Amino acid sequence: MNLRGKTALVTGGAVRIGKAVCEALAAEGCHVVIHCSRSVQAAEQLARRLRGLEVKAWVVKEAIDSESDCRSLMADALKQAGSLDILVNNAAVFHKTRLKAVTEQKLKMEFGINLFAPILLTRLFAEQAEKGAVVNLLDRRIKANDVDCLPYSLSKKALASFTEEAALALAPDITMNAVAPGPVLPPPGKGAPYLHERAGLIPLKCRITPHDIAAGVVQLLKLEGVTGQTLFMDGGQHLLGNGV
């Protein structure tokens, strides 16, 4: 796909990896709808900066905790942009929750945003797009068993399965792929040393940046003959399974 002149909706696009994805898309000449649920000021600042690249940029503020939320988000995005060619399901929540601490509420929180919202948004996107592309943001944990964050890990593994099944369901008009990052950014409020200490063994001994992840998203969007694929961007960490 030639991204110039196309329009993308990026969920969680105001900060962190989502911000880098929006910047990379705009650099390719792609118009961007920046979704946020809380980071409105950051989203507005990003939109103003992207407009300086001679692309259109809009901000949509909406929770994605329910089907009605997802419908409102898609309706608002279409109202502002007119149509969408690309959907990047980036928004996610992460909590460290072991099995003994799992509750129905915690499961609903992780699965609601990490799995149900991408599924519902993909369906809504496909209803309005004759042709297009979807990219899901996963996690290298889909190749491991992380007992420290059970609901999160399960939600991302389910999203990985959805990526493959939806690729078939959406063919031949819409491609569906995914990027699975390794350790990229420390949690909010933590610095680079925190990430370095807890990142684990990385075979390539390199640090993946948000801009690297964004470049991976862009390349998958450009590859029209590729669907149902997951691009691991973790310096080879997924090859170690649980040994990280």
**Does the domain spanning 7-232 belong to CATH 3.40.50.2000?**
no
* C-alpha triplet 161, 136, 183: angle, nearest 5°: 100
pTM: 0.93
pLDDT of 193 over the 70 cut = no
Q: What residues form DSSP beta bridges with 230?
A: 178
CA-to-CA distance for 140 and 239, rounded, in angstroms? Answer: 9
| Rg of the chain on CA atoms, in Å | 17
CB-based contact 31:7 (threshold 8 Å):
yes
* Digit-coded pLDDT (tens) for 28-60: 999 999 999 999 999 999 999 999 999 999 999
Mean pLDDT over each residue of the chain, to the nearest integer: 92
Please name the residues in contact with 143: beta carbons below 8 A apart, sequence gap of 6 or more.
180, 232, 238, 239, 241
Amino acid at residue number 188: P
Domains of the chain: which residue ranges?
A: 7-232
* Digit-coded pLDDT (tens) for 194-240: 444 345 688 888 888 999 999 999 999 999 999 999 999 998 888 88
